[in-house]
Every structure is written in C-alpha cells, then in structure tokens.
Structure 1
Amino acid sequence: MSRFILFFSLLLLLSACGEKNKMRVSGKIENGEGKVLYLKQLNLSGEVDVDSVVLKAKGNFKFSLPKLENPTFFLLKLSDKNFITLLADSTEKIEVIANAENLSKHYDVSSLGSNYIQALNTRFDRTKTEVDSLMKIYNDTPKDEKELIEEVRQDLIEVIDNQKVFVRDFVMANPRSFASYYAVFQRFDDGTLVLNAYDKEDLNLFSTVATSLSLFYPESPRSEQLKNFVLNIRKEIKIGELQSKLKNEAQSNIPDIEEEDLNGKKIKLSSLKGKLVLLSFWASWDEKSRKENKNLIKIYNKYKAKGFEVYQVSLDRSKILWEGAVEQDKLPWINVSDLRFTDSYPARIYNVQQLPANYLISKKGEVIGKDLFGRILDEKLNDLLN
C-alpha cells in the first residue's frame, strides 16, 4: 500500500512539473455553445493551427503548449473576423473571458503582453472609426462648401497625427516588449503603415525596437526580421542618395514617372518631352509647399504659352486631402500621386529629402536645375524661354 501511495505521489509531482514547463491559455467564452474555438500561432509566414475545441454550454476551454522559447503571437479565433490577438511568453498562464458574439469588443485577459495588444488595438480601432466618420462627412459635403471641406481635412490630419504620437509614446515606453513590434507594424485598412519607415523620425522608432529585441531576444525570428527590415530600408535610402548624386552629376537619362491624376488617368513625365518641365514635389499637409504653390501659379501663367509645364507629385496618403488642396489652391497643372505618403516611389527615386522640392527638366529631358523657387525660378525661365 505504501508503495502505491509513493508511486501515485511521484505521478502527481511529475504532472505538476510538466505543467510548470508549459504555456497555457484557458478561460471562458460566453454564448459560444457548439462553436469551434481555435488557437492559432502567428508566425512570419502566417497562421499555424495549434489546437481547437468545441465549446460546451459553460464555454470553458483550455489549451496547453510546450514552453515558448521567445514571446509569441497567438490568435484565439472563432472566425476570420472574430478573434483576439494574444502575446504570450515562456510558461505564461493566460486567462481569457470573452463573449462569442464579438470576441475583441470586450474581453478580459490576465497577461501583460496581451493587455498591451488589447490597448493598441482599442486605440487604433478608435482612430479608424474617426477617420471613417470624417470621410463620410467629406463625401456628403457639397464641393462648394470650401470652409467645411478644409475643416474636415484638418481634422483628418490631426486624427492621423495623434495616432502616430500614441504609437511613438508606446514604443518609447516599452521598447523591450514584442507589443512594440506589433505597434510599429500596425496598418490602416489600405495597407499603409501608421509609421513611415522612410521618414527619419519614424525609422528611428523601428531601429529602437529592432536594437532592443535583438539584444534581449537574439534568437527570435521576429527580431531578425525587424533588424533586416531596418537594414534594408537604410540600404534603400543610401542607394537613393547615390542615385541622386549620379543623376545630378550626369544631368541626363532621368528616371521616368507614371502615376495617376485625380481622375485616375495615368500620366507619364516623359510624355512632356519637348517642353520645359518643372518636376515639383509637394503635399497638402506641408505649409511651405502650399505657400510656394501660390508663387508658382504666377510663374506658370507667365510662361505656359511659351512651352513651360509643371508635373507635380503629391506626397499625400489620402486622396481626400490631396483633392481638397488642389481645389482650394486652384492648381492648374498636372498633379499626380501614388498616395503612399513619404514612401512615395517618385519621391524615393528622386531622393526628395524635404518639401517643397523640384527639378527643372530641359526640352531634351535633361535636369538643368534643382530646387529653384520664386524669383530664381522666374529668372531661369526668362533666360531659357525669352
């Protein structure tokens, strides 16, 4: 009898030790009877099935996994549009209480990393709701109500800027957390990152997280991926700078641009060959650009009949803001954009570092001037066209 008790005690001890070396996700999903609850691991290559359970009347569930080598993202999922994102670490025991009708709307989770993810998603959902609301107001506003349109445009800029500030503050407060990795890669519905890796300030945030995670989690695939992401961006920027230098030296064989105007028509820069062209870069949110446009209109009207044309590229993210600025400033020339903000392809291949910026292109298609504004541009055009 004593041997049996000793054997049974050893089994209990081994079982307890085994549980200590596992990561566990358990809890309760209300109103989920009969539904299948999935636990999926989020790898860089996509979702990987881990386990599943058919929920019973009480909605209790429990998933156990081997000890995690690095912090890992998981989905607790009922469907493609009904899931919770979790961030688990090592042998963490995560408890989740949620409602099957909308898992992510209101849920409680006993995990610091998962709480961070919940806070990031809650804040971002609010931002997207505000953006959608402002876009509806814009679409419903008659075009002749210029003041209201401008007010909506400014509100939209403020909402997006506030979201970026929130992400930056979060990252600086939590550089060692994989939640910061999640934060820097948050995207709007159109796939655009909240942070722009080609912007110096934003790239520094990517670098901060990459450096911290590489130090504390050097074996993590995500640490390696983020480090390579930053290195590749820096490499692209250096290549762009070198290309710009070579272009300035050669002043010939300029790269072509083909982007859409406000009506969706694609227009090539090369289609203007035979004219004296000012390739101009601007953005609706940049005050210096808007001010310079007023000066450029006077110059354009003065030399248009003599073969002068403007091919202007907007570095906007939103077509609404871009269109509003074009209409408000009454810009009469060709205006195109790929709506990729400062990640704009034309801006990258021409190594635009600040706004406004421009290149003066001869009738033969050669760069003969750079960043010519106001009186200096006027004098240059007068020499060439008179």
Structure 2
Amino acid sequence: MNTSRIILFLGLILFATACTNKNQLNVSGKIEGAEGKTLYFQQLNLDGAVDLDSIALKENGKFNFSLPRLEHPTFLLLKLSDNNLITLLADSTENIIVNAKSDNLIDSYNVKNSMGSSYVKTLNRRLETSKNEIDSLISIYKEIPVANTEERKKISDKLQEIVNKQKDFIFDFVMTNPRSFASYYAVFQRFDDGNLILNPNEKKDFNMFATVATSLDLQFPESPRVKQLKQFVLGIRKEQRTKEFTEKLLKERKTTATIPEIEEENLQGKKVKLSSLKGKMVLLSFWASWDAKSRQENKQLLKIYNKYKSKGFTVYQVSLDKSKILWETAVQQDKLPWVNVSDLQYTNSYPAQIYNIKKLPANYLISKEGEIIGKDLFGRILDEKLADLLN
C-alpha cells in the first residue's frame, strides 16, 4: 500500500513537471574541455546582450538553462568569452540541445530541436566562408604593385563576385523562409567592417528588407525587432521618395525653358496648368487657409484683381493646405474668383518646392510672354507694378 502511494506520488510529480516544461524554454547540452570555465546565457536585444544566467562548468561540461515561455522568437547567446560564442534563435517552448568544444564554440557546435537555431548556424557558416575568401583575395591584392592595374582589377572583380554570391544566398534564403526570424538575421548580416551585406539603397536588396518586414509583421506585430525593421524600411522609403523628388525638381528646372510648369487639381478635381494662362499677366500666388497673413493678403489681392482683370491680369493661386474642406471653406469665405489649386501636401507641396517657397504668403509675377518679372509683390507695390505694365 505504501509502495503504491509512493509510486502514485512520484507519478504526480513527473506529470506536474511535464506540464511546467510546456510553459518554458530549455537550453541544455555539453561543452567539452570547459572545466572551470563560466558559460554565460544571454538574451540578444536591440540595444545589446543582457545576462540571463550563468554556470561554472564542471568536468562533464553539462549545462541547463530555462526561461519562461517566449512571446516571440528571440536571439540568445551561449558565451564563454566575447569572441567565443554561439547564437541561437529560440521560439516559444523549445527544448534546445547544444553540444560543442570549448576551444571554438562557433565551429564545433551542433544544435538539435530548434529550426531557427539551425538556420542561424547555416547563415553564419556561409558568411564565414565568404569572409575567408574575401580575406584571402585582399591579401593577394595588397601584394600586387599599384602600377599593375589589370591584375588589381581582376582581384576586385573576384571580390565583387563573392559579395554577389553572398547576396544571392541571402536572397534565396529569405524567399524560401520569409516567415522565419532567421530571415531577419539574414538581412542584417554584416561584413567585418560593419557594413551591411545587403545595401538597402539598392532596389533588389531593399525588397528583401521589405519582404521580411511585411511577413513578420503579420505574425509578430508586437516584437521589438519587427517594429524596428518596419521603421527601418519606412525610413529608407522616405529617403528614396525624397531623393526621387529632388531629382524630379532638378530635372524640371533644367528642362524648363522659362518657368517651371504647375499642373494641380482645383476644387472641382480638374487639373489646371499654369501655362494655360499664358498670354495674360499672371500672379502666381502661394497661400494657405491656416496662414493669417495669407488670408489678409487675399483681401488686398481681390481689390487689385478686380481693378486690373479687364486689362489681362489674372491669378493662379496654389494652396499649401492638407485639408480640402478647410481649403474650400477659405476660398468661399474670401470669395476668391481666380484659379485655385492644391496637391494637399501641406509644406511638402510640389509646386512650393519647385518654386522654393520658404514662407507665406509668397508670389511671382509672370509676364504675358511667360517670364518671371517680379517676386513677392504685395498691396500697393503690386498695384503700382501692374499700373506701369498694363496702363
């Protein structure tokens, strides 16, 4: 009877332990030749490694670390020193087993029960091979006389070929495993000089970052690494748009014979070109419903418009608003009869950029021949200028 109770009690303990293990991550294994050394167990966060636990290894080299169930895939380190460590990619409640030799953890370890950690190992091994090939070629390159440009170019071409092959390996890996956190690890791999292998400013490389960001965001939107990757991608996209916008401005300025063209929508949604008013004296006016000085200037401009409109004077006005409702309300309140357009891009307005508008209100006076003959003419000064030109 007593024996049966003991067996039942032990069974309950084992069952409770099994249930507990389902709610935790375990990393265990053996490090050969590490007697007396300390093995550190760390979590690799965005701002660096954080100590979780450590153990002084005994002669058998065995270790066992545990963590509560992981909310999302997490990078962990097993480390004997800063230059002798293993990177793991743990997920949820895995029971990861790692065996290695203490003199060189990275080259000797094997890992079981963790697909993410196996992927990381594969990525590191492939990168290490590329680095060794690059180091070998660089040594050869340094021995070639500077005057021997032909041989140096051959080495440079081989170096680029290795880099391209490494990129291709990452591309293939990401496209095969877009939902794995190992793909996050892949796109952020670096060479020894600290530079990313993938160049986010190159379209094909950038697409890899974007692919991983989109895929992981669907599964782990609350992960700090996923949030960081999304911001990284959005930042690069913003830089690209700014660059494209700047190039467009420069091209517009170089190719425009007289003045830069504007073609934006009016309140009715119809696009109106500035050049459509050629043959009239045009005041190209920049304003915004939210700018008090602009609204005040509209009152003066309306008087001048009514005075000279019969003599060929008109206004092409560009609003720097971002709300169509506010823009439309201001037009109605100020009773503005002339052409009024906007791309609703606020201070990022393309017309404002191409005409280098730094403050509001602002304007350019354009002759009937389409040439700029005045800038920032307001009130009495504008009135006198038009009187000289149109009377």
Considering the TM-score relative to the shorter chain, is it more than 0.5?
A: yes
For residue 186 of structure 1, report the CA deviation from its aligned partner: 0.4
180, 183, 190: which one aligns with 2:183: 180
Q: Tell me what 1:219 maps to.
A: 222
Q: Secondary structure at the match of 2:106?
A: coil
For residue 206 of structure 1, report the CA deviation from its aligned partner: 0.8
For residue 7 of structure 1, report the CA deviation from its aligned partner: 5.0
Return the index of the structure with the highest Cα Rg: 2
For residue 172 of structure 1, report the CA deviation from its aligned partner: 0.6
66, 72, 79: which one aligns with 1:64: 66
Whichever residue aligns with residue 125 of structure 2, its letter is T
Q: Tell me what 2:102 maps to.
A: 100
Q: Tell me what 1:23 maps to.
A: 25
CA distance in structure 1 between the aligned counterparts of 2:123 and 2:211, rounded to whole angstroms: 18
Q: Tell me what 1:118 maps to.
A: 121
Query: Percent same amino acid at aligned positions?
Result: 57
228, 232, 248: which one aligns with 2:231: 228
CA distance in structure 2 between the aligned counterparts of 1:97 and 1:140, rounded to whole angstroms: 41
CA distance in structure 1 between the aligned counterparts of 2:69 and 2:234, rounded to whole angstroms: 31
Q: Secondary structure at the match of 2:42?
A: strand
137, 140, 165: which one aligns with 1:137: 140
CA distance in structure 1 between the aligned counterparts of 2:34 and 2:73, rounded to whole angstroms: 28
CA distance in structure 2 between the aligned counterparts of 1:241 and 1:145, rounded to whole angstroms: 40
Q: Secondary structure at the match of 1:23?
A: strand
Q: Is residue 32 of structure 1 aligned with residue 34 of structure 2?
A: yes
CA distance in structure 2 between the aligned counterparts of 1:132 and 1:35, rounded to whole angstroms: 32
CA distance in structure 1 between the aligned counterparts of 2:17 and 2:186, rounded to whole angstroms: 38
For residue 250 of structure 1, report the CA deviation from its aligned partner: 5.3
Q: Tell me what 2:91 maps to.
A: 89
145, 149, 153: which one aligns with 1:150: 153
Alignment length (residue pairs): 251
Q: Secondary structure at the match of 1:142?
A: coil
Q: Secondary structure at the match of 1:198?
A: coil
Whichever residue aligns with residue 235 of structure 2, its letter is N
Whichever residue aligns with residue 141 of structure 2, its letter is Y
CA distance in structure 2 between the aligned counterparts of 1:56 and 1:4, rounded to whole angstroms: 33
CA distance in structure 2 between the aligned counterparts of 1:5 and 1:99, rounded to whole angstroms: 40
CA distance in structure 1 between the aligned counterparts of 2:107 and 2:232, rounded to whole angstroms: 32
Per-residue displacement from partner, 1:245-294 (whole Å, max 9, x unpaired)? 3344556xxxxxxxxxxxxxxxxxxxxxxxxxxxxxxxxxxxxxxxxxxx
Q: Secondary structure at the match of 2:39?
A: strand
TM-score normalized with structure 2 length: 0.62
Q: Which moved more, 1:222-231 or 1:119-128?
A: 222-231
Q: Is residue 201 of structure 1 aligned with residue 204 of structure 2?
A: yes
Q: Secondary structure at the match of 2:31?
A: strand
Q: Secondary structure at the match of 1:153?
A: helix
186, 190, 194: which one aligns with 2:193: 190
Per-residue displacement from partner, 1:62-112 (whole Å, max 9, x unpaired)? 001111110110010000000000001000010001000010012110121
Whichever residue aligns with residue 85 of structure 2, its letter is F
CA distance in structure 1 between the aligned counterparts of 2:170 and 2:13, rounded to whole angstroms: 48
Whichever residue aligns with residue 75 of structure 2, its letter is F
Q: Is residue 49 of structure 1 aligned with residue 51 of structure 2?
A: yes
CA distance in structure 2 between the aligned counterparts of 1:105 and 1:155, rounded to whole angstroms: 26
For residue 46 of structure 1, report the CA deviation from its aligned partner: 1.1
CA distance in structure 2 between the aligned counterparts of 1:9 and 1:163, rounded to whole angstroms: 53
For residue 143 of structure 1, report the CA deviation from its aligned partner: 2.2
For residue 157 of structure 1, report the CA deviation from its aligned partner: 1.1
Cα RMSD (Å): 1.6
Q: Which moved more, 1:26-35 or 1:141-150?
A: 141-150
64, 79, 82: which one aligns with 1:80: 82
For residue 239 of structure 1, report the CA deviation from its aligned partner: 1.6
Q: Secondary structure at the match of 1:191?
A: coil
137, 152, 166: which one aligns with 2:169: 166
Q: Tell me what 1:342 maps to.
A: none
Whichever residue aligns with residue 125 of structure 1, its letter is E
CA distance in structure 1 between the aligned counterparts of 2:115 and 2:10, rounded to whole angstroms: 36
**What is the correspondence of 1:250-329 to structure 2 with a 5 Å cutoff?**
none
CA distance in structure 2 between the aligned counterparts of 1:132 and 1:44, rounded to whole angstroms: 29
CA distance in structure 2 between the aligned counterparts of 1:4 and 1:31, rounded to whole angstroms: 40
CA distance in structure 1 between the aligned counterparts of 2:192 and 2:228, rounded to whole angstroms: 23
For residue 9 of structure 1, report the CA deviation from its aligned partner: 4.0
For residue 181 of structure 1, report the CA deviation from its aligned partner: 0.3
Per-residue displacement from partner, 1:41-73 (whole Å, max 9, x unpaired)? 011121111110000001000001111110110
Per-residue displacement from partner, 1:292-339 (whole Å, max 9, x unpaired)? xxxxxxxxxxxxxxxxxxxxxxxxxxxxxxxxxxxxxxxxxxxxxxxx
Per-residue displacement from partner, 1:16-57 (whole Å, max 9, x unpaired)? 211121100000000000000011001112111111000000
Q: Secondary structure at the match of 1:105?
A: helix
Per-residue displacement from partner, 1:330-357 (whole Å, max 9, x unpaired)? xxxxxxxxxxxxxxxxxxxxxxxxxxxx
